[in-house]
Structure 1
Amino acid sequence: MIIERSSTWKEGFIERLENRESWDNWTLYKMSYDVVKTNLITDFTGLQSPKYLPNLTPLPHQLEVAQTVIERMNGKAILADEVGLGKTIEAGLIMKEYLIRGLVKKALILAPASLINQWVEELNHKFYIPAIAYRKNYGLDHYNVVVMSMDMAKRSPHKEHIYEQDYDLIIVDEAHKLKNHKTKNYEFVQDLKKKFCLLLTATPIQNNLFELFHLISLLKPGHLGDYETFQAAFSASKHNWENDEFLKVLVNQVMVRNRRQDTGIEWTSRRVQTIPIQFTQQEKEVYDMILELKNISPEFSSPFTMITLQKEMCSSKEATYLTLNEMRQKCTDPKVVRYIEEIIQKLVALEINAKAEKAYEIITEANDKVILFTEYRASQAYLQWYLHSKGITSVIFNGKFKASKRDWMKQLFKDHAQVLIATESGGEGINLQFCHHVINYDLPWNPMKLEQRIGRVHRLGQEHDVHIYNLAIEQTIEEDILELLHVKIDVFEKAVGELDSILSTFKQSI
């Protein structure tokens, strides 16, 4: 670089000196002074961003979260508010604040594919942040704020292009999907340069304590020590540990969590029921035959296979048939094939689905819009047929749908159908405050999936009490699922904090 002394000032100086011209323009100076003063940030405490957001009125708890993350956590935090309290708004406020202050110039938001358009729309219209949804032919060098799906980002060549960028801020939505530290998702985020980083999840623990350890280690490596140190210091196992209060202190240094009751907003209530169901004699006979499979052949002694079949049988014969038929085709033992065919014959002959009848009874009594969650697409198809035969209109919603079809199904549900039959992935990221009845037709092993399902309706804007119906068939694997769900809820509450009700008391229900 060559530095030369400039002499261009001389002409103007001599002209003003000899011709007695004015040396300045007070009006222009005052205008310039006012502009600089307006943009000057003299104190790092407090938020500047709200005055630049005419289309947004943040709630007090959202402003408090943004200020806490910036002033106390140095921009590295888990935003763990309960579902529906506006974690996206909080993240947008933090990003806007850093952009205004010049501390962030480039940002990357990683989100499920179904939520990308929602992120882009909110950042552009609510925060005046020029975000774009990444496409395969885009060059990352030319865009400062990019929203991308995790599935695309972790694959080549996108992964390498991302690593080449100097991102100041990384935001990961639905961050509980990073719970397994052995996955490509986790490794990808771990390798990102993270000057500032926000992990958004209402459920930082889903199954066990070590998920929280790995999430915090991703955000701030060493904050809880290494794995062995953490395990020894807290005598930690998956569902038990010591020094509860000390662990909470460490966790709260990197995690902000608001519950609905903490926000000062008047929320409607949750009314949760766990409803016991009895199989018909014919259904019970098929279920017992399935249990016997593990004794018929070592080929079917795998716990995963048996658990899958039991859960499917508690859902629908259609879901069960698909798995049994696949097993029959792969089996080489004629004796076992005959036994599977006997099960299939009895399965096909079933005329009653006790759980579907109970769901229909609930839907009829509700006489209002209902979301019904199942884990199997075969059960989805059956339930739509069954409800149609009873005169109930419904639409299907699952993760295979593209964004446009998801929006269309949501609109059909709002305007025309009484029931939305959704799978787990189908229910992700949709806001359905106009509905206030949820049937958990199939129970997941993970209690946080129940919280996510309920959060589709029990969120800001809900004007009615929300009714939750958890269906469980007696003397089946669903009793075991309920017991484990209560154990995992206890783990969450000990490490993170109390949950809103998602299950009614087990012993009163079954």
Structure 2
Amino acid sequence: MSTNFHSQYYAYELTKQSSASSVGRLSQSLINATVDLNPHQVEAALFAFRAPLDRGALLADEVGLGKTIEAGLIISQLWAERKRKILIIVPPPLRKQWNQELMEKFYIPSMILESKNFNEMQRSGVSNPFHQQDLAVITSFQFARNKDSELKRVNWDLVIIDEAHRLRNVYKKSNKIGRALRSATEGFPKILLTATPLQNSLMELYGLVSFIDPHIFGDETTFRKQFSRGSREMSQADFIDLKQRIKPVCHRTLRRQVTEYVNYTQRIPITQTFIPTEAEWALYERVSSYLQREVLFALPKAQRSLMTLVVRKILASSSFALSDTLQSLIRRLDDLLQGNNVGNLGINKEFYNDVDEFDDTLEEWDDSFEELDINDLTEEEKHALILKEKQELQSYYNLAKSITENAKGDALLLALESGFEKMREIKANEKAVIFTESRRTQNYLKEMLEYKGYNVVLFNGQNSDPEAKKIYQWWLEKHQNDDKITGSKTADMRAALVEYFREHASILIATESASEGINLQFCSLIVNYDLPWNPQRVEQRIGRCHRYGQKHDVVVINFLNSKNAADKRVFELLSEKFKLFDGVFGSSDEVLGTLESGVDFEKRIQEIYQTCRTSEEINSAFSQLQEELDEQIRNKMQETRSSLMENFDDEVREKLRDHFEQTSIQMNRLERFLWNLSKIEGQKEAVFDDASLSFTKDNKKYQFISRMKKEQNSENVVHFRLSHPLANLWVEKAKKRSLKPKEITFMYSDYEGKISVLESLIGKEGWLSLDVINIESVETEQHLIFSAVDTNSNQLDQDICEKLFLLPATDHEDIIVPGSIENTLGYIRECQEDAVLNNIMERTAEYMDSELEKLDKWAKDLKVKLEVEIDEVSVEIDYLKKDSKTIRNIQEKLEMNKKIKELEKKRNDMRRNLYDQQDQIDEQKDTLFEEIEAKLQQKVTKQHLFALKWRII
């Protein structure tokens, strides 16, 4: 049994805001997360708050360490503090993954904002759809750039940019997306996530840092002159200066530093070769040759390159998929023959319908196919050519329809046998996810595998077949009494299909829509029936299974057409250069990070397929591409990055060990507080079970979240957590309660455990007061201050008072606190408040010193730039004077002297203006520092919570 005094203390402890110098800064997000957090993720989130978050941070942990979880912790903490204007900018394929993980791991609802729903909202009267209430907004780079004016009109609490290395060339004028986003997000706190903060030049680091804080470096010119030569050519002093400047905003952890906490499994590759039948190979050769022609009427010029890519994907998938695609091309030619004006049609939905998630590729695809001019042809000539092309496509269609034996499909049966044998060997679930790029191939494979006795479920971008609807209804009925149902049919359908696969099916056949946003850690066998050319897509597919929570090695089976020279070279690149299929982590950040965009790489591969006709041409083109990749992967910046961005292993490991201990203590403490508070506040409404940490209310079962982390498959229960509306209600009820002084008996005898510091107080009594002090400065902090004495006027430490409230207790009659006791407790409280404020003032002074040093360096950079510009003009004058002496033509000599005089005048003007401009820089620096000083002024408010007379028995 506990009292309302306990409940109020717990409520304030659960919701107080702490300094980023302790794990307590993340209290609310730690207790809300349904993922087992690793200490490096806690450290990264704390670093971001220490940055401080009024500007942001660059989180650059190596790939595979969970940067999304780090960002989720930060978002979750801000969310708990009611700072909910959150914008997340990501590459298109990652939008659903973020949407899903925010909800699954942190219970944060979000909206993916794209053209369709943006326009719908505006038509319905919403002036700015970026302005959402209690919804994080997720959008793509391109869409954010296109809507930058609307984006900047929202006062964002935080902007997250994932895969931020796409913006590392923002200093270049050609990087239009980067520049637009930097301008649109200026002044808002930002978290940039990337495993590859710099790849080829330190200028890339300059670009990313300028996104976060434009006053860390002077400008591009001074940075380039001082730092951009690399660590070997840079002086030791400059290198130390550079490291000190970026240290407050850049954080990086390496995989080797976290192996104590993170158990990684291996990837095991298996290559399944197949030889197409004569008919299949004839179909491939003829259609491939057709696609290489310069003039095609079936593929409109505006989409020629993109549509060619689609045909090639489907051609490599199956003849069953290809026949319908050919039919849609034939229908297009029929329209042309009938005189319909379809020559420049954009995207034909029927044509693209077979390939999922193609909007993502489309968004990044710049179609610039050059076609021969056919305007010289007469209408009769065009008609004849179109008719001939239609007849040709009809012959391909007839050939495709005639093929009944599929060599690749037969090979799949062999692959599954060997794959499941490996699953039995490593004692993993006998489940496989098969990826194909075509929905028609998906249906063919389902029919074939079900005939062979496999239990199969489909997953695609539509999920509208009768079986999917049946599974969806089963799932809704199953979870009608818990909180797994989100209300979004798309999200719930995806969850239903995954759950059905986990519990009932042995095979999930998925299109590209399953490569993002779903977690399949319970499956350890991946089959790339169709292998994408985009390495980032491949990594996303494998990452569905090879991720946190995977207990077994993951087997990756890739299909390879042994007759196709180009397919072999693509597989070689993905396997040997990008290292996607083996090892502990898959592709390294050094390698995958060389790609600005996987779509650009895909276009390079497409170009080879389109232009090369012989094996020799194919091998030559791929060898050239491989040489380019080798040059990028060798990466001359690797040495600089390791010495600049990384800390000593021992230092990092010690810090992580400390965080691991602190986080465990904090979690246990807060979970105990939330559970006890719930029992006190909900005792009249709910029935509680301490053994299972669950309770029943209104015929619903609520399971405490600490158990949910360990039992993710708990059914028909509501996940109870601090952010749950019911928990919010109970916490606020406890905080608002007015408590009159009472006598409280704390019962150590009923406590299950041992608290040594309290044993000496058994049989004693005294007085206690609790106050809360709020300080707004660099950070907003709340401190709970206990003032307590025993009857002999001995002061009780803060730690002892906190431990008192771990004991069960009963309250008695109201009492009046004597004036002498109030004075004693008031004096103790003032001393403790002074200690807290002094500690904060010391931290504030350190922050001011570092900010002043930063601004001094920034101002010095700009002043040096002015002097460098004068020197450059002087050097130019000296060169011209030397050249003038060699000129014999009088007219040329006069022109040269005139140019020299103009430059000398310019230099004199620059010298005269130098001090004025330097003064202006100093004034600008002083203004910036005054703004910082204003932020650092302490605003202190105090609130008395309760007083009581205590006794321990």
With over 3 angstroms needed to count, the CA separation of the structure-2 counterparts of 1:420 and 1:177, relative to structure 1, is farther
Letter in 1 for 2:570: I
1:166 corresponds, among 122, 146, 155, to 155
Map 1:115-134 onto structure 2 (within 5 A): 115-116=98-99, 118-120=101-103, 122-124=105-107
With over 3 angstroms needed to count, the CA separation of the structure-2 counterparts of 1:352 and 1:176, relative to structure 1, is farther
- Does residue 366 (structure 1) correspond to residue 419 (structure 2)? The answer is yes
1:63 corresponds, among 17, 26, 42, to 42
Map 1:101-140 onto structure 2 (within 5 A): 106-109=85-88, 112-113=95-96, 115-116=98-99, 118-120=101-103, 122-124=105-107
2:265 corresponds, among 268, 271, 274, to 268
**Residue 197 (structure 1) aligns with:** 190
Could you tell me which runs of 5 or more consecutive residues in structure 2 were left unpaired when the two chains were aligned. Answer: 334-382, 421-429, 464-489, 580-586, 595-621, 623-953
**Residue 19 (structure 1) aligns with:** none
**Residue 75 (structure 1) aligns with:** 56
Q: Distance in 1 between matches of 2:534 and 2:79?
A: 38
Q: Distance in 1 between matches of 2:231 and 2:405?
A: 51
SS at the partner of 2:40?
A: helix
With over 3 angstroms needed to count, the CA separation of the structure-2 counterparts of 1:496 and 1:357, relative to structure 1, is same
TM-score (norm 2): 0.40
Letter in 1 for 2:561: I
SS at the partner of 1:312?
A: helix
Q: Deviations over 1:194-238 (max 9, x none)?
A: 5322244678899x99xx8899489459899879x99xx999xxx
**Residue 16 (structure 1) aligns with:** none
Map 1:372-411 onto structure 2 (within 5 A): 372-401=434-463, 402-411=490-499
Moved more, 160-169 or 250-259: 250-259
- Does residue 284 (structure 1) correspond to residue 281 (structure 2)? The answer is yes
TM-score (norm 1): 0.69
8 A Cα contact 1:168 1:194, kept in partner:
no
- Does residue 493 (structure 1) correspond to residue 590 (structure 2)? The answer is yes
SS at the partner of 1:426?
A: helix
Q: Distance in 2 between matches of 1:93 and 1:64?
A: 11
SS at the partner of 1:338?
A: helix
SS at the partner of 2:58?
A: strand
With over 3 angstroms needed to count, the CA separation of the structure-2 counterparts of 1:117 and 1:369, relative to structure 1, is closer
8 A Cα contact 1:328 1:340, kept in partner:
yes
**Residue 313 (structure 2) aligns with:** 311
**Following TM superposition, by how much is the alpha carbon of 1:439 offset from its aligned partner in structure 2, in angstroms?**
0.5
**Residue 54 (structure 1) aligns with:** 31
8 A Cα contact 2:56 2:212, kept in partner:
no
- Does residue 341 (structure 1) correspond to residue 394 (structure 2)? The answer is yes
**Residue 445 (structure 1) aligns with:** 533
**Following TM superposition, by how much is the alpha carbon of 1:90 offset from its aligned partner in structure 2, in angstroms?**
1.1
SS at the partner of 1:289?
A: helix
8 A Cα contact 2:109 2:135, kept in partner:
yes
Q: Distance in 2 between matches of 1:157 and 1:292?
A: 38
Q: Distance in 2 between matches of 1:373 and 1:191?
A: 38
2:137 corresponds, among 148, 161, 167, to 148
With over 3 angstroms needed to count, the CA separation of the structure-2 counterparts of 1:327 and 1:433, relative to structure 1, is same
1:454 corresponds, among 542, 548, 551, to 542
Q: Distance in 1 between matches of 2:273 and 2:414?
A: 13
Indicate the RMSD between aligned Cα atoms, in angstroms.
5.1
Moved more, 249-258 or 371-380: 249-258
8 A Cα contact 1:275 1:470, kept in partner:
yes
**Following TM superposition, by how much is the alpha carbon of 1:50 offset from its aligned partner in structure 2, in angstroms?**
4.2
Map 1:225-304 onto structure 2 (within 5 A): 254=250, 256=252, 258-259=254-255, 262-264=258-260, 265-294=262-291, 298-299=295-296
Q: Distance in 2 between matches of 1:281 and 1:105?
A: 61
Moved more, 425-434 or 317-326: 317-326
**Following TM superposition, by how much is the alpha carbon of 1:415 offset from its aligned partner in structure 2, in angstroms?**
1.6
Q: Distance in 2 between matches of 1:393 and 1:441?
A: 18
With over 3 angstroms needed to count, the CA separation of the structure-2 counterparts of 1:330 and 1:272, relative to structure 1, is same
Q: Distance in 2 between matches of 1:156 and 1:190?
A: 10
8 A Cα contact 1:81 1:259, kept in partner:
yes
Letter in 2 for 1:198: I
2:560 corresponds, among 472, 485, 494, to 472
8 A Cα contact 1:472 1:479, kept in partner:
yes
With over 3 angstroms needed to count, the CA separation of the structure-2 counterparts of 1:201 and 1:308, relative to structure 1, is same
1:421 corresponds, among 486, 494, 509, to 509
**Following TM superposition, by how much is the alpha carbon of 1:287 offset from its aligned partner in structure 2, in angstroms?**
1.1
Q: Distance in 1 between matches of 2:437 and 2:409?
A: 14
Q: Distance in 2 between matches of 1:244 and 1:471?
A: 45
The number of equivalent residue pairs is 449
SS at the partner of 1:150?
A: strand
**Following TM superposition, by how much is the alpha carbon of 1:456 offset from its aligned partner in structure 2, in angstroms?**
0.9
Structure number with higher helix proportion: 2
8 A Cα contact 1:204 1:215, kept in partner:
no
Q: Distance in 2 between matches of 1:279 and 1:172?
A: 44
With over 3 angstroms needed to count, the CA separation of the structure-2 counterparts of 1:164 and 1:142, relative to structure 1, is closer
Moved more, 150-159 or 257-266: 150-159
Moved more, 111-120 or 424-433: 111-120
- Does residue 412 (structure 1) correspond to residue 500 (structure 2)? The answer is yes
8 A Cα contact 2:26 2:46, kept in partner:
no
Moved more, 175-184 or 459-468: 175-184
With over 3 angstroms needed to count, the CA separation of the structure-2 counterparts of 1:424 and 1:123, relative to structure 1, is same
Moved more, 177-186 or 71-80: 177-186
**Following TM superposition, by how much is the alpha carbon of 1:419 offset from its aligned partner in structure 2, in angstroms?**
1.1
Bigger CA radius of gyration: 2
SS at the partner of 2:43?
A: helix
Letter in 2 for 1:393: N
Identity within the alignment, %? 28
Letter in 2 for 1:346: L
**Following TM superposition, by how much is the alpha carbon of 1:190 offset from its aligned partner in structure 2, in angstroms?**
5.7
**Following TM superposition, by how much is the alpha carbon of 1:431 offset from its aligned partner in structure 2, in angstroms?**
0.7
Q: Deviations over 1:365-418 (max 9, x none)?
A: 434210111122222222222222222221121233421211111122112211
Could you tell me which runs of 5 or more consecutive residues in structure 1 were left unpaired when the two chains were aligned. Answer: 1-27, 125-129, 236-241, 498-505
SS at the partner of 1:298?
A: coil
